[in-house]
Amino acid sequence: MKKMILTTGGLGFIGSHTVVDLLNEGYDVCIIDNLSNSHIEVLSYIQQITGKMPKFYQGDVRDNALLEKVFSENDISAVIHFAALKAVAESVVKPLLYYEVNIDGTIAILKAMQKHHVHNIIFSSSATVYGDPKVLPCTEDTPIGEIKNPYGETKLINEMLIKDFVKANEGMHAILLRYFNPIGAHASGLIGEDPKDIPNNLVPYILRVAAKKIDHLTVFGDDYDTPDGSCIRDYIHVCDLAHGHVLAIKKILTIEEPLKIYNLGTGKGTSVLELVNAFKKVNHIDLPYVIGPRRAGDATASYASIDLAQKELGFAPKFSVEDALKDAYHFLIKHEEGSKN
Ligand code: NAD
Ligand code: UD1
């Protein structure tokens, strides 16, 4: 029988690509999303890509009545909990909102799992838990903490919460996935990263500049201790990241250990200036930028060791940063065309 996977936030950037991969791999999928940072059209794009329509429940993960309905109507094998707020700058201004949505949301999901005897949860954590790592690459044993914003704190607290939950509830399993920097879009150009507000993250910002909606990019600092002075990150194609979730689902349905933690990145660092130049080169367009001051709280360099995910999940990213930048631009062009029609 097909396994049913509940994805919270399944219409968002990473969630939608993961839903596509799950459906293609033969899983049934249901989604809870309140559309606070996604669009309902994504549902039909998922159907166009896969030929299958996931079950969709519109609403908040903190709505206990909704959770009761979803968990009663579906025989759920595992939950992938993506739903959260993720804008770092906003979290500094609205900490209560971030703690409320990101922590109460997880507590509500864990309670529903407990009540309905659902034993497996995969959680969207972040490389942000490593703060400004002293030694690179980051392994899963790199010390965590020293986080400088409420968004990052919510990821750390969620990790602790889930660790304590599986410890206290025999038979429960959790996998914490620490994502590095997901970029790119599905090759169809139908789904990609489409934030509702002005983006904070580098590639969505670059796309707004490429679309001439913003006149230039500001590179946050060129005086870091890196070869070209700009910060280094581990940019992973969102389809590779999505596939990491399918591998994690296969793992969680068979593991005995209550808790596993995996980095999902590529293992390769790319600087901001390298990324900007690669975007221009692969897409044959100019991208105006200026060098600005450092952004508070930025780590100089962060990239993953993915040895553990490779060894235990069979995780092997297929796409390069150039592929991801091409796909991101293709998504932009396709959406620009779509909005003109
Ligand atoms: P996203 O904003 O595109 O997707 C999140 C989805 O969750 C959206 O569709 C939104 O509408 C929904 N949502 C938010 N709050 C909700 C709520 N209370 N109830 C129901 N639905 C809700 O973000 P994303 O980039 O796809 O990120 C997914 C997860 O991965 C998040 O937990 C994020 O913190 C984490 N993460 C993202 C990145 C990244 O760079 N994108 C990096 C590390 C970790
Ligand atoms: C940021 C968050 C991190 C979060 C992740 C996903 C911070 C300090 N970290 O990671 O907690 O998990 O997003 O939401 O905010 N850059 C520019 N100009 C821009 C935008 C970015 O130069 O307009 C640079 C940044 O300085 C950084 C790199 O691009 O060096 C990547 O930035 P971003 O995409 O925001 O990701 P992170 O900072 O790695």
Q: Identify the CA nearest to 13 among candidates 109, 87, 104, 82.
A: 82
Residue 181 near ligand 2, beta carbon < 6 Å? yes
Query: 316 pLDDT band (50/70/90 cuts)?
Result: very high
Q: What is the pLDDT of residue 199?
A: 84
Q: What is the pLDDT of residue 197?
A: 76
In the reported structure, the alpha carbon of residue 309 is separated from the centroid of ligand 2 by a whole-number distance in angstroms of 24
- 241 and 266 Cβ atoms separated by less than 8 Å: no
> What 3 state SS string does the chain have?
CCCEEEEECCCCHHHHHHHHHHHHCCCEEEEEECCCCCCCHHHHHHHHHHCCCCEEEECCCCCHHHHHHHHHHCCEEEEEECCCCCCHHHHHHCHHHHHHHHHHHHHHHHHHHHHCCCCEEEEEEEHHHHCCCCCCCECCCCCCCCCCCHHHHHHHHHHHHHHHHHHHCCCCEEEEEEECEEECCCCCCCCCCCCCCCCCCHHHHHHHHHCCCCCCEEEECCCCCCCCCCCEECEEEHHHHHHHHHHHHHHHCCCCCCEEEEEECCCCCEEHHHHHHHHHHHHCCCCCEEEECCCCCCCCECCECCHHHHHHHCCCCCCCHHHHHHHHHHHHHHHHHHHHC
Q: What is the mean pLDDT of the chain?
A: 96
In this model, does residue 110 exceed pLDDT 70? yes
pLDDT digits (tens, 9 = 90+) for 259-308: 999 999 999 999 999 999 999 999 999 999 999 999 988 999 999 999 99
* Segment of 84-88, 104-108, 331-335, 336-340 carrying the highest mean pLDDT: 104-108
164 phi, psi to nearest 5 deg: -65, -35
| Substitution candidate for ligand 1 out of 19, 33, 62 with most atoms within 8 A of CB | 33
pLDDT digits (tens, 9 = 90+) for 115-124: 999 999 999 9
pLDDT digits (tens, 9 = 90+) for 169-215: 999 999 999 999 999 999 999 999 977 777 889 999 999 999 999 99
Q: Identify the CA nearest to 182 among candidates 254, 251, 120, 236.
A: 236
Q: What is the pLDDT of residue 194?
A: 76
Q: What is the pLDDT of residue 148?
A: 81
pLDDT digits (tens, 9 = 90+) for 125-140: 999 999 989 999 999 9
Residue 326 near ligand 2, beta carbon < 6 Å? no
Which position has the token pair 């922590």? 103
Q: Could you tell me the two tokens for 30? A: 């249901």
Q: What is the pLDDT of residue 340?
A: 60
Q: What is the pLDDT of residue 159?
A: 98
Average pLDDT score over residue span 101-114: 98
In this model, does residue 341 exceed pLDDT 90? no
Atom 33 of ligand 2 has which residue's CA nearest to it?
Answer: 201
Which residues are 259's β-sheet partners?
Answer: 174
Atom 4 of ligand 1 has which residue's CA nearest to it?
Answer: 12
- 300 and 232 Cβ atoms separated by less than 8 Å: yes
Q: Identify the CA nearest to 61 among candidates 121, 19, 7.
A: 7
pTM score: 0.98
Q: What is the pLDDT of residue 123?
A: 98
Atom of ligand 2 lying closest to residue 217 CA: 23
Catalytic status, residue 151: yes
- 327 and 237 Cβ atoms separated by less than 8 Å: yes
Average pLDDT score over residue span 87-97: 94
> In degrees, to the nearest 5, what angle opens at C-alpha 80 toward C-alphas 70 and 87?
105
Between the alpha carbon of residue 149 and those of residues 145, 154, 295, the distances in Å are: 11, 9, 12
